[in-house]
Each structure stands twice: as C-alpha cells, then as structure tokens.
Chain A
Amino acid sequence: EVQLVESGGGFVLPGGSLRVSCAASGFTFSSHWMHWVRQAPGKGLVWVSRINGDGKSTDYADSVKGRFTISRDNARNTLYLQMNSLRPEDTAVYYCAREEMTVSGVNYYYMDVWGEGTTVTVSS
C-alpha cells in the first residue's frame, strides 16, 4: 500500500526550531519529487517546499525561504522539513505529498498521495 506518514510535530516557542519527518512506503521513493504543504487552523492549503528525487533541487515559498530546509534520505525513504526561526504564523498542520506526473505527451504534475499531517504549534 502506498503510504506517507508524518511525525515530529509539536509545541515550540517563537524563534525555536523543529524537524518534521515523512516516512514513505509502497513506492519507489527516490523516483518522485516530494512536497510539504501546510494548513493553518481554519485556513486553506499553502504550498511550502518541494525537492526532486535525488535531493539536489529544492524550492521554497517566499514565506519560509531562509528559515526552512527540505531534505530527503532515499536510503531510509524519508522526507524532512527542518524549521528554524519559527513564528506564530507557522502554526499549521504540515502535510507531505508525493508528486506524480503524466507520462504520455505533455508532462502534467499533481500531488496524488498525501499523509495525514503533523501539527506544529508556535506560541509563547
């Protein structure tokens, strides 16, 4: 069964750090781009970051650039998000998601597998 399971969420003071993880199973992890998407309480989905299959290419939303670092360990089938200098506005459920793409003709990209999320709360 294809599955993503996040862990590592918790309560942290403003300015603190936290690392969340996403364990993948049931598919060839290294063949897929992976994403982090967050959702603040009562709000919509916001894309945070993505990483390619070998970990050498990364992208970040402007709101987290310079504070968050995405990485992956393909030997452990695990995705990470290191979050530093956390702010109250970073409070959210953090989801990891697998990117898939169409293989015939033009390549279209979509997030087809999602974890259940891990909650990060930043508060004093």
Chain B
Amino acid sequence: NAGVTQTPKFQVLKTGQSMTLQCAQDMNHNSMYWYRQDPGMGLRLIYYSASEGTTDKGEVPNGYNVSRLNKREFSLRLESAAPSQTSVYFCASSGWAKTEAFFGQGTRLTVV
C-alpha cells in the first residue's frame, strides 16, 4: 500500500541549479497536486492536474513547471532554483469526488 510516493526526500541545491521532484500514486486517481509548505503559511497550491494530459496553475506557480507524465506520475521542475523556493514540497492525489487528498511524505528542499 504505497499510496503517494515522492522522491527525493531531501535535496540541497545551489542558486540557479535545476531539479525535478518526482511523484507517483498507485490509487488510480485522476487528480494530482503539488503544494509547498512554509512556516505560518499552511500549504499553498503550486500546480494541479485534474486528469492525464491537463495541468493548471495554482496559487503560487511562478518559478515552477509540471508534467503529468501519465495517470500515475506528476513531476515538478525548478528550472533555476532561488532561495525563496526553500520549502517542503508535497505531492497529493484525489479520486473522482475530490473530497479527500492523499499526501506523500514530502521533499525538504534547501536552496543556498
């Protein structure tokens, strides 16, 4: 029962470097999401994908790109990392009713 799996768990980047955060779910969910969590800010939606082949911007999309590779996988890319992108990133998925989101364990990213 893997649920939502994120890789890597930890990452340190230098300013200007790029990287891709990977996410996969095994619950046959249509919808997938990327959130960032910062102290005192809750979780803020970066991008979401309502179904395979579609992606839409959330509240804080600047500096990020996403790819819905197939129904299982949804990746988040930072093209040129900035210190302001230091955060904990969570991937989530939800079923057709979208009343419950299932989260991965997060990726703690530090940009120096």
> Do A and B come from the same complex?
no
